[in-house]
Structure 1
Amino acid sequence: MTYKNIVGKQFGLLMILDEFKNEKGYRVCRCQCECGNIKIIYKNNITSGRTKSCGCLEDRNRRRFVDLSNRTFGRLKAVAPTDQRKDGYVVWECICKCGKTVHVVGRNLIRGETKSCGCLLKERSNISNQRFGHLLALYPDKTSKNSPRKWLCRCDCGNICSVSISNLRNGHTKSCGCLQDKEYRTLIDGTCLEVIASSKVSKNNRSGIKGVSYYSKTNSWIATLTFKGKRHYLGEYDNITAAAKARWKAEEEIIKPFIDEHRHLLNT
């Protein structure tokens, strides 16, 4: 490797004063930074650009921040930066619309991760007198220590039950359990009337057409129809269009007359 003399040269904020080998045999340089500090630094760190100052530049960069003064983020208004830092980011003093003063990391304000002092979450958590299916939210269930976000609800059937607020909002729980006891399916000769009358296609269906599936071994499309507990094979086809036509023909001949005959049961 060719030796390169860098004494007297400038690298970033560093002026190279001297160069020598340390006790481990590595080449190091005695450098003077523009801030006045003198420091011993590995030569390869200097020439590669990894080190550009005695450390003051890093400290200076760390203290730089985007001025958020008087800017509003949700319910928070940034007032002034504090001397606090978190993960290298400036912590700002903010005033919430509710009047409370809080300290928030600037990054969280900019990203929208913090929008209030906490009052917004409390308001959203208040679902008193809101209806979810057959349930009316009454008040928080304070007896539930493991799940503080549970609410006591009155079901239309009269029962009182404790349900988590997340299950109420996402629709997982719509009653005290009484709905599970009701039978909504109309079964006739082993056929569910609601199922065959529905045009809904299974998520696993690659064709997008009810009763038509792809058979990879033969690179073909198969049409089938399940009716009164039996699976009817309608044929194997080279293309999806032919398979779909076979399925639709079977629906017209078998399913439609059955639905028409019992349509009055679907409306009850």
Structure 2
Amino acid sequence: MPPKGKNLSGMVFGFLTAKEVYSKNGKRYWKCVCACTPNVLHDVPQQSLKKGYMTSCGCRAEKPKGNPGKKYIGKRFGKLAVIDVEIVYMDWKYNSKQKIWHCNCDCGGFVKVRTDLLTMGRKTSCGCEQETDSSTPLKEGERYHDLTGIRFGLLVVKHESEERSASGGMIWNCICDCGNEISVRALSLRHRNTKSCGCLSSLKEEEHYIGQRFDRLVVIAKGNKTEFGHQKWICRCDCGNEKEIIGFNLGDSKGEYRTRSCGCYSIEVRESMAEDLKDLIFGRLKCISKAKSRKSYAGNNRTYWLCHCECGNFKGIDVVHLKNGDILSCGCLRNEMKGKFAPGYVDGSTNLVYYFRNRITEWKESSKRACNYRCIISGEYFDKIHHLYSFSQIVRETFRECDLPILDKIADYSQEDLVKLFVTFHEIHDSYGLGVCLTEDLHNEFHNIYGNRNFAPSDFYQFYYGKTGKRFEQIAFTKE
């Protein structure tokens, strides 16, 4: 039973006439006859017929309607003489087509060439030109020119090789002026793509590097190769030392240096970092004392200085940012430019306890590491870092040590008094050791029992024993 659908039997589509319908893979096909061959049936998809994608059996490609354009007939392109043209349909669906020119070659060959290859000069022979460097025509029965004894750059052809290239081209055994032997395709010799066994590129590389300066380094000679085949170059530094450096580490196309010196540059940088910056002023910051070194994201130790800002804040600043002028304040300058005041900004009304609490970041990080970032009682993620000694007690002890009264506002203190308070506070605070991590519920429960101001470490030991049934190991929380 024929598949359901519109009956196209007897209908004409260009040169095709539909005769009989059948189904294949769920699609409708028609057996059609073409006007050029009435006795031959062709299978055509129904959609291709209805949309006009196929209007013949293919005979239109050899017999195009109208004049396909003959402006190149009789003209020459290299060794090719155009004698005829045809139109070939490349895609029936989109009706795309192009002209193919029939050409006779001077060697007697025949070839069909696309229009673009002719007009752009990319095709100038039937292929015979690719195998010879000479304009001498081939003798009868010969397919390749004999290149024996001909020089191409540093190479002299010795004899024909028994091997062939992937496309079937000739391969010739050649000897280089340096003494090495190499097998080269005839096409590579003719187009001068291969001029040596490789020593020529090495000589050019030497000319490129030797005598060149890369920051503090001057290349003086060629060195050994690494185990991965990378070339090393012997360089003399301005300090007098010599060192072997891999070529791609000397510089790149943008003129940026990866290796600047024999190592003396890094030493000078480290020495400049160790320079005494005490009392030096960078913008609003005044260096007070050298702070503890910290590690960067890359794992390098960075030098920090404790700086006092004009607004009253203290902050540890990387010495590189100070010298480069990247940081000019504790952050107040940025806040003023934005017209906003971040938490902790000293505007003359910040409470002293709040001021001190926001400047013990290093102590907090050490305490978290000591507790393995967990609550030491429940083992859960913590919310608070608890002082074993009352923080208010530490603040009062700081003022007693400095012999200064406790005032409500930071603006009421002079700059000298603030520096004295800040340094003394850290000395006393660090002497009491690290804190412990607790969940918010356990932290609130402790303070509900023992208060917020007048508690001691023994109170926490008792609280810890009541929760866990174990003794609290205080030594584990002693600051390193």
Normalising by structure 1, report the TM-score: 0.50
Look at both structures and tell me which one has the larger radius of gyration over its CA atoms: 2
Structure scoring higher RCO (CA < 8 A, sep ≥ 6) equals 1
Normalising by structure 2, report the TM-score: 0.30
Structure number with the higher strand fraction is 1
